[in-house]
Structure 1
């Protein structure tokens, strides 16, 4: 199972070079699950993917102007979406259940703080998303733009980083991407789901003319030695 997570920094419908770059790099890496943020409904990765999509943003929302087709979070899945799960904010996070070769998995894609890691939106999202993760009584793949860096510069603060790491630890969740330096994009899964499996994590550097975030990829496979 290969998982991509990326913040594509608000592509507009007429930005053909950027759209082509995004679609090409995603297709080249051929992931089973794709979590995108700051995205646009114009993006298309082919008929093999099912899709969960947060609400399209109105032209003016939360003191910011948005353009045609923009939304905050989309999940593309080669596994059929068996059920969509309601979240506290349909603009900021989405959730749904799939069945994989390793069993059922609840997908949860989000932005924690759509304007960065230091305002009230961030605090509200972090609080509400922790509650929702705790209430999902199943194996979870939680991925998004957390606006938290666990390695390198501790953003937004050492306290937030420490508290968030403890939250995941207390809920038996592993941050597969925590060693990616100065990276706010993360993929988190249950330790139980990862049992008897091996995983790899890498980060692909992206030219800043296309996105202000790098792309992360995690790949999970059965441990054949078991």
Structure 2
């Protein structure tokens, strides 16, 4: 069996004047599962199934936001060639979404998220990390997981991280037998982690795109399991 998973923070679709280049990059990944963060409903992907966090403009007035959002913006979108089995509740429906998908390798709970609504330098960041850890702990009991999206934390260098977030995620991944497949990528805060039982003895190839960050301020990350 083979599976390709990609994630990309599209920076709130600020570069919509280059949308065709962005579409082409996404298409080139040939991903079975694509998780877009800081996404926009205008940047629609050609997949059989799609799942989105609610539009940010629908959030309560006291929801913490770094800036004004457009009417078409949402935090996370999951696109999939695999059908939905069930949606699962997350700690914050505006920034984390979990869709259980029926893949060729068995059911997989795809948890797409942005960790840290205001980045990792705010007073609320530790609480947000804790909420994510609680989600992972709870959901991993239901089956194999893929945690995918913007972690606001690098794991292999000093690019952008906090000790608390790094240790917290590595601890929960070890505890729940989840493999952080993008751990060794440098200058990387967008990650893909998959349950060890799901990966099994499959090999893993990691690639990056938008390296010059001209279409977004984040690189795209693709993991191929084969």
TM-score w.r.t. the length of structure 2 is 0.90
Q: 2:186 aligns with which of 156, 181, 193?
A: 181
Which piece of structure 1 moves more, 99-108 or 199-208? 199-208
CA offset digits 1:103-153 (Å, max 9, x no partner): 111110000002211213422221111111111121001101000100121
- Equivalent residue pairs, number: 218
| Alignment correspondent of 2:29 | 29
Q: Does the CA contact (< 8 Å) of 2:133 and 2:168 recur in 1? A: no
C-alpha separation in 2, matches of 1:29 and 1:173: 23
Q: Given that residues 154 and 161 in structure 1 are in contact (C-alpha distance below 8 angstroms), is that contact kept between their aligned partners in structure 2?
A: no
Contact 2:155 2:161 in 1 (8 A): no
Whole-Å Cα distance in 1 between the matches of residues 96 and 90 of structure 2?
A: 7
Q: Kindly tell me: are residues 11 and 105 of structure 1, through their superposed partners in 2, closer, same or farther at Cα, counting changes over 3 Å?
A: same
1: CA distance, partners of 2:48 / 2:185: 27
Change (3 A) 1:126 1:159: closer
TM-score by length of 1: 0.90
Shift of 1:198: 1.3
Provide the C-alpha distance between the structure 2 equivalents of 1:56 and 1:121, rounded to a whole number of angstroms: 22
Matches within 5 A, 1:1-226: 1-11=3-13, 16-46=16-46, 48-58=47-57, 62-63=64-65, 64-136=67-139, 137=141, 138-153=143-158, 155-221=160-226
- List gaps (5 residues or longer) in structure 2: none
Q: Hey, what's the Cα distance between the residues in 2 that align with 1:121 and 1:189?
A: 26
Question: Would the alpha carbon gap of residues 42 and 82 (structure 1) be closer, same or farther in structure 2, given more than 3 Å must change?
Answer: same
Dislocated runs of 4+, deviation >6 Å: none
